[in-house]
Amino acid sequence: MNSIREKTSNEIEIKKSRFIGIAIPVDNEDEIRVILKNIRKAHVNASHYTYAYILGDLGNIQRASDDGEPTRTAGFPILEVLLKHKLTNIILIVVRYFGGTKLGAGGLIRAYSSSASEIIKQVVLTKKITTYDCLVTCSYDNIGNIDRYLREKSLLKEIKYDSDVTFFFSVTADIFEEVKTNVFNKNSYQDNLKILNESSQYA
C-alpha cells in the first residue's frame, strides 16, 4: 500500500454547495483527532465535516464518518476511494458548505466520491521504505574493496579504525541481501555484517 507525501486540498461546487477535500498523511489516531479539531476551527461555518481514514501497513484500521449526512452517503464513499487506490496512513476530509439545494442520497454519494477522487488525482504518492542500520568489520587487507562498494551501494556513515576496521552504514531492505552477499565475498568470506537497527517510513 502507498501513502501520500503532503497535505493536499481541492474544492468543487455542486448546486451551490461547496465541497472542500483535504487529504493529509497521518501516523496514528491521536494525530487524526487533532487534525479534525483544527479543521472544524478553520471551517467554523461549514455544514458537515465528513471523513474517512486508513492506518496500518495492511490498512487494517479503517474509519468513516458521515457527520450528520444520511447514512453511508459521505464517509463511506470517501473510504471507498481510499481503498480503490490502496492508500494507508491517510485521512481524507470533505468539508461541505450547504448551498441551499438538497442533493438526495445518490447526489451526495456522487458529490463526496467526486471530491475525494479529485484530491487523489493531485496527491504525490509515497511508498513505505524499510532501512537497516548495519556494521561490518574487516581486516585492513579488505578495507579498499569494502570501502568502495559501500560508498556506491549504501549510505556510509562512519569508519572506525582499531585492530580491525568497522564500517557503519545504512541500506534499504530491497537491496540488503545483495549488499550482504557482496560484502561477504569482499570480506574474505567472513560473515561479519550485523544489523543494528531497522526503521520504516513512507518516502
Name the residue range of residue 175's domain. Answer: 128-202
pTM score of the predicted model: 0.80
Burial class (CB in 10 A: 0-12, 13-18, 19+), 161: exposed
pLDDT of residue 171: 97
134 and 80 co-located in one domain: no
Distance, in Å, from the CA atom of 169 to the CA atom of 134, rounded to the nearest integer, reads: 5
| CATH number of the domain residue 135 falls in | 3.30.70.240
Q: Kindly give the parts of the chain with pLDDT less than 70.
A: none
**What are the contacts of 68-71 at 24+ separation with CB within 8 A?**
69/96, 69/108, 69/112, 70/105, 70/108
96 and 181 co-located in one domain: no
pLDDT of residue 202: 85
pLDDT of residue 57: 87
Residue at which a domain ends, from 75, 94, 123: 123
What is the residue-averaged pLDDT of the chain? 96
Burial class (CB in 10 A: 0-12, 13-18, 19+), 71: exposed
Reduced to 3 states (helix: H, G, I; strand: E, B; else coil), residue 134 is strand
pLDDT of residue 2: 95
69 and 132 co-located in one domain: no
